[in-house]
């Protein structure tokens, strides 16, 4: 009798733990099936791997600067503005090796981009940490006037849409069914932005694309990790029209949309397509908004060796992908065997993050289809690379550690000298 009581008690405890530790419904409902990684692409990336040489090209600029997420370079690369993890945008004088806070922003800025044709303006995404958000500070897309240090919100709300979990969608520019809200709030029903992660500004400076990896109320960092494991299709890409003030849905139903770049379009008035990183899917994807393929999407490259975060182009049009963390054997096996995910997503986040992985960069051809360079690193200088910004003096690596208690400490800037293979 006692054995039965003990057994029933254990079953009850397990059932209670299973229910209490479950991921939120918006994620648990949508765990993707098992996926297969393409060994041919993996071999192409291995063929251009320069990880052994990477440490010799790495240097640290001794600046009193907190860890940061992204950077934009002004004055021919002499001045940088970086989105630091202390909730400020910092100004960095690379000639004098001096850094100072420029402006305190709502929450914490992540992606940042210059305004083409207007050196006074900078655009940035602001979201920051998920917990303990100060009252009155709202996630969204913002504009900074450098000369006056004034900040103006551009987009704090987006159309409130319901994702079709079975069918991702891309809206062509001429699709009248695309959810959109006007500058006065009219149009589709709206909601607050949960996470404004990264952004890209069109070549003519008239449109801003920004990513929202997922949306639900009271999101947490643990939810972001569950998203990455589940491959839940909760990612969206939005576009803000600077002239009209309208905000339009470009794509939804994808996996953790993060970095964004428009494709070159010589001879055309505006971009036909944009590419994004689907971080948790280890993939770069192209969305067509104009031209003969408008309304469609395609995989540019998959089976990347790490989680792609930010993207930038160098002067030759090559794409620099930051690999936030390496695709570990455990994570690879997990995605290939999705049946285990409901269990793993109930384990403590600290346990899932306990295995330190390498971080690095991958460089692709201008169309994104061909790996040109790859390098990974594990050591004291870099934790996780959130962006890799190439300028003439080198490639500046945003060095963050989301699970580290010293995220706000001064760490300087890590710079990679130009690899000989890419000069």
H, E, C per residue of 177-214: CCCEECCCCCECCEEECCCCCCEEECCCCCEEEEEECC
Note the pLDDT of residue 3: 73
pLDDT band for 216, please (50, 70, 90 cuts): confident
Note the pLDDT of residue 353: 58
Q: How far apart are the first and last CA of the chain?
A: 77
Note the pLDDT of residue 189: 92
SS3 assignment, position 122? strand
Residue-averaged pLDDT of the chain: 90
In a domain, 351, yes or no: yes
Note the pLDDT of residue 128: 72
Note the pLDDT of residue 330: 84
Name the nearest CA neighbour of 317 among 275, 277, 272. Answer: 275
Q: Show the beta-strand stretches assigned E in 39-120.
A: 58-61, 68-74, 79-84, 88-93, 98-104, 109-114
Residue 410 confidence (pLDDT) above 70: no
Can you read off the two tokens belonging to residue 47? Answer: 């063929």
In a domain, 410, yes or no: yes
DSSP H/E element including 394: strand 394-400
In a domain, 80, yes or no: no
| Contact in structure between 233 and 164 (CB atoms under 8 Å) | no
| Contact in structure between 91 and 79 (CB atoms under 8 Å) | yes
In a domain, 412, yes or no: yes
Note the pLDDT of residue 206: 96
Residue 27 confidence (pLDDT) above 90: no
Domain limits for position 57: 31-61+314-423
Rounded to two decimals, what is the model's pTM? 0.93
Residue 323: Cβ within 10 Å count: 27
Name the nearest CA neighbour of 275 among 264, 267, 167. Answer: 264
Q: Show the beta-strand stretches assigned E in 79-177.
A: 79-84, 88-93, 98-104, 109-114, 121-126, 140-145, 150-155, 157-159, 169-170
Most confident of 77-81, 130-134, 328-332: 77-81
Handedness of CA 81, 126, 132, 218 (dihedral sign): negative
Can you read off the two tokens belonging to residue 132? Answer: 């303990």
In a domain, 226, yes or no: no
Backbone angles phi, psi at 299, to 5 degrees: -80, 125
In a domain, 215, yes or no: no
Instruction: Please compute the mean of the pLDDT values over residues 86-111 and round it to a whole number.
Output: 94
Note the pLDDT of residue 113: 97
DSSP-H helix ranges across 151-304:
221-230
In a domain, 185, yes or no: no
| Contact in structure between 360 and 397 (CB atoms under 8 Å) | no
In a domain, 99, yes or no: no
Q: Show the beta-strand stretches assigned E in 195-335.
A: 199-201, 207-212, 235-241, 247-254, 257-262, 273-278, 283-288, 297-301, 306-313, 319-326
Note the pLDDT of residue 136: 80
Residue 329 confidence (pLDDT) above 80: yes
- Using CA atoms, how far apart are residues 18 and 264, in angstroms rounded to an integer? 49
Strand partners, 74: 79
| Contact in structure between 377 and 58 (CB atoms under 8 Å) | yes
Residue that is written with structure tokens 């460089």 in the block: 363
Q: Which of 22-36, 148-162, 166-180, 384-398 has the lowest mean pLDDT?
A: 22-36
Residue that is written with structure tokens 């540019």 in the block: 300
Q: What is the pLDDT of residues 167-213, one digit of tens each?
A: 999 999 999 999 999 999 898 899 999 899 999 999 999 999 999 99
Q: How many domains does the chain have?
A: 1
């Amino acid at each position: 009798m006692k054995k039965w009581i003990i057994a029933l008690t254990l079953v009850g405890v397990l059932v209670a733990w299973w229910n209490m530790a479950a991921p939120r419904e918006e994620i648990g409902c949508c765990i993707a099936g098992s996926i297969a990684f393409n060994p041919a692409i993996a071999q192409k990336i291995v063929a251009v791997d320069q990880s052994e040489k990477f440490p010799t090209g790495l240097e640290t600029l001794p600046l009193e600067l907190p860890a940061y997420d992204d950077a934009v370079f002004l004055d021919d690369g002499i001045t940088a503005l970086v989105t630091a993890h202390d909730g400020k945008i910092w100004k960095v004088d690379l000639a004098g090796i001096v850094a100072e806070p420029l402006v305190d922003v709502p929450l914490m800025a992540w992606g940042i981009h210059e305004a083409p044709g207007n050196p006074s303006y900078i655009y940035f995404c602001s979201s920051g940490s998920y917990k303990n958000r100060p009252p009155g500070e709202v996630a969204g897309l913002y504009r900074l006037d450098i000369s006056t240090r004034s900040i103006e919100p551009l987009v704090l709300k987006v159309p409130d849409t319901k994702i079709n979990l079975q069918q991702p969608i891309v809206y062509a520019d001429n699709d009248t069914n695309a959810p959109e809200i006007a500058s006065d709030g009219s149009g589709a029903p709206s909601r607050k932005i949960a996470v404004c992660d990264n952004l890209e500004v069109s070549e003519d400076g008239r449109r801003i694309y920004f990513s929202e990896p997922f949306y639900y109320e009271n999101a947490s960092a643990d939810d972001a990790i569950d998203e990455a494991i589940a491959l839940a299709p909760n990612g969206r890409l939005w576009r803000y029209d600077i002239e009209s003030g309208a905000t339009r849905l470009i794509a939804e139903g994808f996996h953790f949309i993060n970095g964004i770049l428009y494709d070159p379009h010589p001879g055309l008035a505006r971009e036909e397509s944009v590419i994004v990183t689907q971080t948790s899917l280890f993939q770069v994807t192209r969305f067509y908004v104009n031209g003969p393929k408008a309304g469609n999407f395609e995989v540019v490259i998959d089976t990347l060796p790490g989680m792609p975060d930010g993207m930038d182009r160098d002067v030759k049009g090559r794409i620099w992908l930051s690999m936030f963390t390496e695709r570990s054997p455990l994570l690879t096996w997990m995605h290939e065997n999705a049946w285990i995910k409901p269990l793993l997503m109930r384990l403590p986040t600290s346990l899932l993050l306990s295995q330190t992985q390498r971080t690095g960069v991958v460089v692709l051809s201008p169309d994104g289809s061909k790996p040109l360079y790859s390098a990974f690193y594990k050591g004291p200088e870099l934790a996780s690379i959130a962006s890799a910004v190439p300028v003439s003096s080198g490639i500046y690596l945003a060095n963050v550690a989301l699970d580290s208690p010293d995220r706000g400490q001064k760490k300087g800037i890590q710079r990679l000298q130009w690899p000989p293979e890419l000069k």
